[in-house]
Amino acid sequence: MASTVHSILELIVLPNGERSTAKMTSCGMEWEAEATLHESTLEIVVCCNRGVESNVWSCEAHIGVALFSKENGPISVRKERVRNALVKFHSRSYKHLFVIHRSEVTSLGQNLEISFEIRHVVGYRSQLIVTDFFEPSPLSDACISFHNTPRKVYVSSQYLAIYSSYFAKRFMKTAKHSSTSFADHTPNEDEMSDFDVMSLRSDMTATALRTDEPNMWQQLNDTHLQSAEKTLPSLISTSHQFGVDHIFWRCEDYLLSEQGLSEFDLLKRLEYATTYKMAALQSDCLKRLSTANSVRELLEDPKMENAFSEVRSILLETLLQRLKTDLVHTKDSRTVVQTSNLNKRVDDPPGVVKPVDIPEVLEAARRVSVSKAEQGKRESYENLTALRERLNKEMALRKNYELSLKCTRDFIRQTNSATTSQSSNTATLIPSEPKAQSQPSEPNYALKAVPSIPPHASPMNRDFLQKLVFDTFDASKLEKLKNIAIESGSDGKQMFSMHEVFSDIVLEPYTTMKCVTYSFVCHFYSKLYKEKMIPLLTAHSPPKLDAFPQMLVEGIASAIICGYNFQEQLHKDAFMIHELKVKIEKQLHADFDVLRLAIFASAFFSCFALLI
């Protein structure tokens, strides 16, 4: 959105402590202003899209704050703009604060006028646009059909790829093989000619129900999860399968809430936590099993017959921990009782018979009850050995499964390596064998078995690195104490930190990697070297002076990865992060050459102009 939209909000200055608010909707975004009068200042907070979880939006607004009084009806007597600012709003910075001194406010009941000039809007938040995915809209560029279901979903591929890592890979694969036609087209193909229809029959129906997907589309943009006992299991499985993290986290929060505790029992919530790796939910369930008896009751529940083996193993480990804790407490209580009896025997002189008092009788009765309780605990501890053997069997079975899986993987790798070596040996021996010219060579189809490509080296992942989303750059994530020394000619070494250099860089969000890397290179040299940049770049050559050493390249690449938070986008995959770093370093070298040639050309033409 390149045009400018003008809007106005009006507020009234109220007495101390009272808050005046005003709201409006403009450009599909929610704007809110709050004014609070304190003892010495008047604070005005302007917010844009407060409470919106999506990060697919940003805008730029020129905001002006004016104070004026009204007399004789609508006639304005005095109107003065006291504050103005150019603010860039996005998901990480959605509010701005104006502070006005108390002396500038003439009287209570004075009016505030906040004017907005909104431009450079990216994204959309209007509910009329984004909630209905089942009807075509001007913003949708893809149509997804589901197996055995007449319903179709019309989506924006870029919007859906940001929310779901699964669909990001699917759309990239579709873009790469755009020439291939997908199945399951509707009979009215003429009406759907503007869309790419995808069939997800083999992937979506493998583990999900047929009615899961429309439920997930309806929940995609809701700020509050509308869950029930019937819809929550399908939401969890579908969001986990397609990598829709924010819905998956809402489901976990719902299971931790009071409403989730009332709808789902402890065993069901523990199954969800174990199956979908919900660490917070699993720790909460185990905390509620505070005693060994509670764990034993859950293990003896008839529903455990249909539970997963991992749930049973976790409960057995928890039971052992609870039994050990109870055993330690019992030993401590025995030590206290023996110490008290020993002190009593030492204090009593021999041959003296004391009269029996009522407190002593009560103490004796208490000891009898304690002894009975200890006897009951001893009976429960007799099963400790059996439980330990049972747990050892479960662990042994798990280790056997892991060992068999490892052996299978090793066998596959050896088979692939043997096939590769055999094909290479055959390829080297074929030219040395004498063959008659009349007999045509027959291709050996048995040796065309290509070994499987590792996941990190697949072409799809490399294409994924090219289409990463360069969101808003956050310089606060860069390390402030990490200094880098760079040779700067006759001046020796120069020490600086990446945070110090790139703390003031301004970049447009959602731009390409080539624009980002070139901006970083230009910003670095123009800020650190300024007027010395031209002789430095023109004198660049490896024998004389390396103006762009490898240490600097690695530092700038790390700053880009950290500032754009690519660790989270790549799910902290170390190999993928390394691949991205290598790709950025290559692009930085290319950008440096472009900048150096441009500086050299400008210096050459300036010298030529002086000669003329």
411-429 tens-digit pLDDT: 667 666 666 665 555 444 4
Q: Is 81 a domain residue? A: yes
Residue 598 lies in domain: 464-611
Total structural domains in the chain? 3
Give the model's pLDDT for residue 336: 53
For 556-568, the pLDDT digits (tens) are 998 898 888 888 8
The whole-number average pLDDT for the span 1-19 is 79
| Single residue among 216, 241, 264 that ends a domain in this structure | 264
Q: Is 420 a domain residue? A: no
- Whether residues 85 and 147 fall in one domain: no
Give the model's pLDDT for residue 202: 31
- Whether residues 73 and 110 fall in one domain: yes
| Single residue among 125, 144, 178 that ends a domain in this structure | 125
Q: Is 585 a domain residue? A: yes
CATH of the domain at 72: 2.60.210.10
- Whether residues 199 and 249 fall in one domain: yes
- Whether residues 117 and 228 fall in one domain: no
Q: In this predicted structure, which of 59-63, 365-369, 577-581 has the lowest mean pLDDT? A: 365-369
Residue with tokens 């008659």: 436
DSSP track, 383-442: THHHHHHHHHHHHHHHHHHHHHHHHHHHHHHHHHHHHHHHHHHHHHHTTTS---TTSPPP
For 226-237, the pLDDT digits (tens) are 545 667 888 888
Q: In what order do the strands lie in the sheet with 197-199?
A: 152-155, 142-145, 197-199
Does residue 407 have a pLDDT over 60? yes
- Whether residues 119 and 139 fall in one domain: no
- Whether residues 68 and 183 fall in one domain: no
Query: What amino acid occupies position 118?
Result: I
Please state the φ and ψ torsions of residue 63, each to the nearest 5 degrees. Answer: -110, 130
Is 533:526 a contact under the CB 8 Å cutoff? yes
Q: Is 373 a domain residue? A: no
Q: Is 341 a domain residue? A: no
Q: Look up residue 607 and give its two tokens.
A: 């010298």
- Whether residues 599 and 566 fall in one domain: yes
CATH of the domain at 234: 3.30.710.10
Angstrom distance (rounded) from CA 576 to CA 578: 5
- Whether residues 69 and 197 fall in one domain: no
Single pTM value for the model: 0.31
For 271-289, the pLDDT digits (tens) are 888 888 888 888 888 888 8
Q: Is 517 a domain residue? A: yes
- Whether residues 489 and 600 fall in one domain: yes
- Who's near 581: CB < 8 A, 6+ residues apart? 554, 557, 558, 561
C-alpha to C-alpha distances, 560 to 480, 513, 515, 521, 566, nearest whole angstrom: 15, 10, 12, 11, 9
- Whether residues 80 and 160 fall in one domain: no
C-alpha to C-alpha distances, 239 to 70, 161, 208, 247, nearest whole angstrom: 56, 13, 10, 6
- Whether residues 570 and 484 fall in one domain: yes
For 573-594, the pLDDT digits (tens) are 787 888 888 889 999 988 888 8
For 238-260, the pLDDT digits (tens) are 778 777 777 788 888 888 888 88
Q: Is 320 a domain residue? A: no
Does residue 406 have a pLDDT over 50? yes
For 78-127, the pLDDT digits (tens) are 566 788 899 988 878 889 999 988 888 766 567 888 999 888 777 644 44
Which residue has better confidence, 140 or 56?
A: 140
Give the model's pLDDT for residue 32: 92
Give the model's pLDDT for residue 354: 47
| Single residue among 264, 282, 304 that ends a domain in this structure | 264
Q: Look up residue 542 and give its two tokens.
A: 């490896």
DSSP track, 385-399: HHHHHHHHHHHHHHH
For 466-502, the pLDDT digits (tens) are 667 777 888 888 877 666 766 655 555 667 788 888 8
Is 298:315 a contact under the CB 8 Å cutoff? yes
Does residue 453 have a pLDDT over 50? no
- Whether residues 54 and 143 fall in one domain: no
Q: Is 331 a domain residue? A: no
